[in-house]
């Protein structure tokens, strides 16, 4: 499945939308082996494109990604490892009101602090906090 700018695609209850060459929105939920496998393949292709186009910073907006299972966390770990070895940065935009965002992304960032930035936003309020 090829991801094109402004052409959203769905994998089961997961929705993906490339809003620009350097920003991806993930929404819905990611909890089945099929969705994980497909997302992994999409992200592998996306990673190749980021490297080929020499995009220095890629943003992933997960604010509407409400639910993932533990195996799906692995997808983010693998992407961060690839980004670090290819020397581009990943910025995750997270939602403060979602517990797994608040807790897991801070740990994910700690795996590669020079590669990962997390911007926490609060949909109930204004502004955000970067770490």
Partner 1 sequence: MTEQRPTRPPERSLKLLHGGKAVEDARRMAELAVTCCDTECRQAASMAAWELAENLLKYGASDPTKSAGTIAISVDKNLVRVRTTNTVHSPNDARRVQETVSKISSSPSARDLYRERLLELFGDPAQHRAQLGLLRIAFEGSFKLSCSFEPPLLEIVAERSCAGQ
Q: How far is the CB of 28 from partner 1 (least distance, A)?
A: 13
Ranges within 1-30 binding partner 1 (CB under 8 A): none
d(CA 123, CA 94): 10
Binding letters toward partner 1, positions 100-129, x by CB under 8 A:
x--xx--xx-xxx-----------------
Q: For residue 94, list its beta bridge partners.
A: 120
Residue pair 40/78 in contact by the 8 Å Cβ criterion: yes
At residue 28's C-alpha, the angle toward residues 57 and 95, to 5°, is: 55
Please tell me the distance from the alpha carbon of residue 119 to that of residue 59, in angstroms, as a whole number: 10
Q: Name residue 107's beta-bridge partners.
A: none
Binding-residue pattern over the window 66 to 85 for partner 1, x denoting contact by CB under 8 A: -x-xxx-xx--xx-xx----
Provide, rounded to whole angstroms, the least separation between the CB of residue 21 and partner 1: 26
Number of residues that bind partner 1 (CB under 8 A): 22
Please give the residue ranges that form the binding site for partner 1 (CB under 8 A): 31, 67, 69-71, 73-74, 77-78, 80-81, 97-100, 103-104, 107-108, 110-112
């Amino acid at each position: 499945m090829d991801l094109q700018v402004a052409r959203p695609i769905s994998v089961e209850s997961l929705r993906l939308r490339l809003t620009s060459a350097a920003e991806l929105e993930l929404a819905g939920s990611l909890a089945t082996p099929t969705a994980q496998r497909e997302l992994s393949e999409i992200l592998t292709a996306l990673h190749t494109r980021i490297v080929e186009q020499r995009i220095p910073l890629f943003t992933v907006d997960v604010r509407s990604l409400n639910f993932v299972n533990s195996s799906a966390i692995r997808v983010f770990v693998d992407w961060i490892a690839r980004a670090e070895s290819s020397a581009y940065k990943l910025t995750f935009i997270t939602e403060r009101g979602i517990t797994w965002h608040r807790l897991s992304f801070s740990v994910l960032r700690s795996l590669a602090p020079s590669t990962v930035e997390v911007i926490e936003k609060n949909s109930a309020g204004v502004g955000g906090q970067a770490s």
